[in-house]
């Protein structure tokens, strides 16, 4: 039987996995001192909390929501004029002392790297940072009205992420990177493929290029529609698109891009992660997704951006059913 790490590598390389990679089982997600200090995330907040993150953005974690969201108003919005981003946007620090890294390094030292991937974590992503700072409406307008300033801001954010990555490499040498950046709704990307290619692709080629040079596999979370962006995901070096919703027609994407990228998801949280969930309903959904999608370049799991669920018990129920389907699909 392959280790969890070996089974993932066989899956993404088109080899001979002996079972499904079950959701997040091969990754040990590491929240480093940089991410902890930035805050505004589920690991620093609980439902009902509000916080000001390290970028100066007020975030709110509503009860019953999957995670925190940025708040915007005339008073709250950090970046009101994209052309003045240099005077306004202050990046969080990335350099922390060895003492401040000590707890994280001790946690990493206990991880069996033959079994698991030590997985660095970055969130929010580049597009998300932009609309966290500006608000979604103003951010989208600025792509059209102030492209030069938007290019500059995005380059600045990409360089900051690389600086973060260098500190990760210095202290914990991750085997993988799990990076959040939601790029769409359930049915459409937020920006056109052409605009994505112009603004976001170069930034991600820099960021993911750096991590790939260090030997990391790249897992990118975007629980959304993104079928129209897959060629750019491949070009930027993404190994696994995590959060791929069923609205993307994952079986068709696998046929089209087989061998170039692996799709992780297919089990939409909106369908299974509900107050009225039942083991029977989850079993039905998981079996349908696995049978329709097959075993190649596919990692079944919910579209949640972490090994968790909004409603207690859902994540465990899904992983139990994936194990059941492995015994059926990998005979």
Starting from the edge strand earliest in sequence, which strands make up the sheet with 240-244, in order?
A: 27-30, 117-122, 176-180, 217-221, 240-244, 262-267, 298-302
CA 172, 173, 175, 178 dihedral sign is: positive
Neighbouring residues of 258: CB distance < 8 A, sequence distance ≥ 6: 14, 296, 297
Higher pLDDT, 66 or 273: 273
What is the spatial distance between Cα 328 and Cα 197, in angstroms, rounded to a whole number? 40
Q: Is the pLDDT of residue 65 over 90?
A: no
The pTM is what?
Answer: 0.97
Nearest to 34, CA basis, from 111, 119, 110, 121: 121
Phi, psi (5° rounding) for residue 119? -120, 110
* Contact of 288 with 249, CB cutoff 8 Å: no
Q: Is the pLDDT of residue 66 over 90?
A: no
Eight-state DSSP code of residue 188: S
Domain that holds residue 43: 4-329
Report pLDDT digits (tens) over 77-93: 999 999 999 999 999 99
For the chain, how many helices (H) and strands (E)? 13, 10
Structure tokens, 185: 């709704």
CATH number at residue 38: 3.20.20.210
Q: Is the pLDDT of residue 123 over 90?
A: yes
Q: Where are the beta strands (DSSP E) in 47-180?
A: 50-52, 58-60, 69-70, 117-122, 176-180
Q: Is the pLDDT of residue 287 over 90?
A: yes
Q: Is the pLDDT of residue 53 over 90?
A: yes
| pLDDT for position 295 | 98
Nearest to 286, CA basis, from 299, 298, 300, 297: 300
Structure tokens, 27: 């990754």
| pLDDT for position 254 | 98
What is the β-pairing status of strands 58-60 and 69-70? antiparallel
User: CB-based burial of residue 31 (10 Å sphere; 0-12 exposed, 13-18 middle, 19+ buried)?
Assistant: middle
Q: Is the pLDDT of residue 292 over 90?
A: yes
Based on the structure, what is the number of domains in the chain?
A: 1
């Amino acid at each position: 039987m392959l280790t969890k790490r070996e089974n993932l590598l066989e899956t993404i390389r088109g080899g001979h996995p002996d079972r499904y990679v079950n959701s997040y089982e091969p990754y040990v997600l590491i929240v480093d001192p940089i991410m902890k200090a930035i805050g505004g995330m589920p690991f620093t907040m609980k439902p009902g909390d509000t916080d000001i993150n390290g970028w100066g953005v007020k975030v709110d974690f509503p009860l019953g929501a999957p995670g925190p969201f940025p708040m915007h108003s005339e008073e709250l919005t950090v970046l009101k004029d994209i052309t003045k981003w240099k005077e306004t946007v202050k990046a969080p620090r990335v350099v922390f002392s060895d003492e401040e890294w000590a707890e994280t390094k001790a946690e990493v030292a206990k991880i069996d790297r033959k079994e698991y991937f030590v997985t660095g974590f970055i969130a929010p992503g580049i597009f998300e940072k932009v609309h966290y700072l500006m608000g979604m409406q103003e951010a989208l307008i600025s792509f059209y009205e102030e492209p030069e300033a938007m290019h500059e801001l995005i380059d600045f954010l990409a360089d900051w992420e690389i600086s973060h990555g260098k500190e990760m490499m210095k202290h914990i040498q991750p085997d993988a990177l799990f990076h959040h950046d939601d790029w769409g709704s359930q049915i459409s990307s937020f920006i056109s493929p052409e605009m994505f290619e112009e603004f976001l692709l170069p930034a991600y080629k820099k960021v993911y290029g750096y991590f790939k040079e260090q030997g990391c596999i790249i897992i990118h979370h975007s629980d959304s529609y993104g079928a129209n962006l897959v060629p750019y995901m491949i070009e930027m070096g993404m190994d696994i698109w995590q959060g791929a919703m069923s609205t993307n027609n994952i079986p068709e994407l696998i046929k089209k891009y087989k061998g170039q990228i692996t799709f992780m998801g297919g089990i939409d949280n909106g369908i299974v992660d509900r107050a009225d969930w039942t083991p029977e309903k989850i079993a039905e959904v998981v079996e349908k997704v696995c049978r329709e999608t097959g075993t190649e370049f596919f990692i079944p799991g919910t579209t949640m951006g972490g090994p968790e669920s909004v409603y207690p018990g859902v994540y465990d129920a899904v992983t139990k059913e994936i194990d059941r389907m492995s015994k059926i699909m990998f005979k």
